[in-house]
Amino acid sequence: MKLKIAVLAGDGIGPEISVQGVDVLTAVAEKFGHEVSYKSALCGATAIDAVDDPFPEETFKICQEADAVLFSAVGDPKFDNNPSAKVRPEQGLLAMRKKLGLFANVRPVQTFDCLIHKSPLKDELVRGADFICIRELTGGMYFGEKHEGDDMAYDTNKYTREEVERILKVGYEYALRRRKHLTVVDKANVLASSRLWRKVAQEMAPQYPEVTTDFMYVDNASMRMIQEPRFFDVMVTENTFGDILTDEGSCISGSMGLLPSASTGTGTPVFEPIHGSWPQAKGLNIANPLAQILSVAMLLEYFNLMEEGALVREAVDASLEANVRTPEIQVADGAKYGTREVGQWIVEYIRRR
């Protein structure tokens, strides 16, 4: 197979982990006889500094022409600490999703047996947790009408039936491939937009009789994820709730550096780690590259290269079992490995298999 990959390394630790993801994808391609080409592009704070646009038109064109985007992270403290900034790195991420039609963000949440002790939850609660959060990406408050003034501000949480139907369809399709349980998360007791979500879901449920559909208010869901994470199989929700719940879900595994994601829709799909740019760690060779590498596994599986994706996952599991880990998940008195060392260990494992 021939694949054209747009590489958006972004800001902070992005360039460091991006290199490891590209190296792993290259190693897999060489092993299985695929041809992968790469084209890099600017985004986030790096793009603002260069061309005053967090998602330049040239970057959009490169993404459009690619088969997939391998994205890393955006964000910079000089914008975070400046509330008057008119252009922000995160606007590039939102623009990318909107322009590429990426309405579905898929975030797997899983535990690793050798890292259960790193989870803030008790072993008996978290062991075996394995679910997927599906977040609607291009609607809701993040994209609704806005106003910001000195004395009043608002963000409009707007959804259409079409937007709700298409993301629920994604949720049901994932549920059919898994344990056939879909939880729709909303706030229908308060929000009109959530009542539309619940109404549409209730209408669609009979089309998927094999799937058990239940409904949960977002505040209850946030508690249930901590109290009983194994309850969930596939969770689907709107943009703002999904942003919060998926970050909460990342704590279950014990590190945000372990979880990948995919954003899909009508245009070029994007594969990325869920963590941010962690600017404080920039250049220190301590960032965990595993989420970026597992994003490569999701990319391969998206193109039905299941054996290739499985090998990447096997290599990641092997690195963890061998205690080849960056500092935040390393065992006491374990050997010191940095971003580059972990990534290259995984590359060599793939080449040896």
For 154, the token pair is 């608002």
Phi, psi of 245, rounded to the nearest 5 degrees? -65, -35
Catalytic residue, chosen from 142, 172, 208, 337, is 142
Which residues pair with residue 4 across a beta bridge?
Answer: 37
CB-neighbour burial class of residue 338 (10 A; exposed 0-12, middle 13-18, buried 19+): middle
**Length of the chain in terms of residues written:** 353
Catalytic residue, chosen from 118, 159, 174, 187, is 187
Distance from C-alpha of 307 to C-alpha of 51, rounded to nearest angstrom: 41
Catalytic residue, chosen from 67, 130, 155, 243, is 243
Q: Is 142 an annotated catalytic residue?
A: yes
CA neighbor of 199 nearest in space, from 237, 165, 235, 233: 165
Direct distance between the N- and C-terminal alpha carbons of the chain, in angstroms, rounded to an integer = 20
Cα 104 to Cα 13, 25, 46, 94, 324, distances in angstroms: 25, 23, 26, 13, 33
Q: Is 219 an annotated catalytic residue?
A: yes
Catalytic residue, chosen from 123, 219, 317, 336, is 219
Catalytic residue, chosen from 130, 247, 282, 302, is 247
Q: Is 247 an annotated catalytic residue?
A: yes
Distance from C-alpha of 275 to C-alpha of 103, rounded to nearest angstrom: 19
Residue linked to tokens 């960056």: 326
Catalytic residues: 142, 187, 219, 243, 247
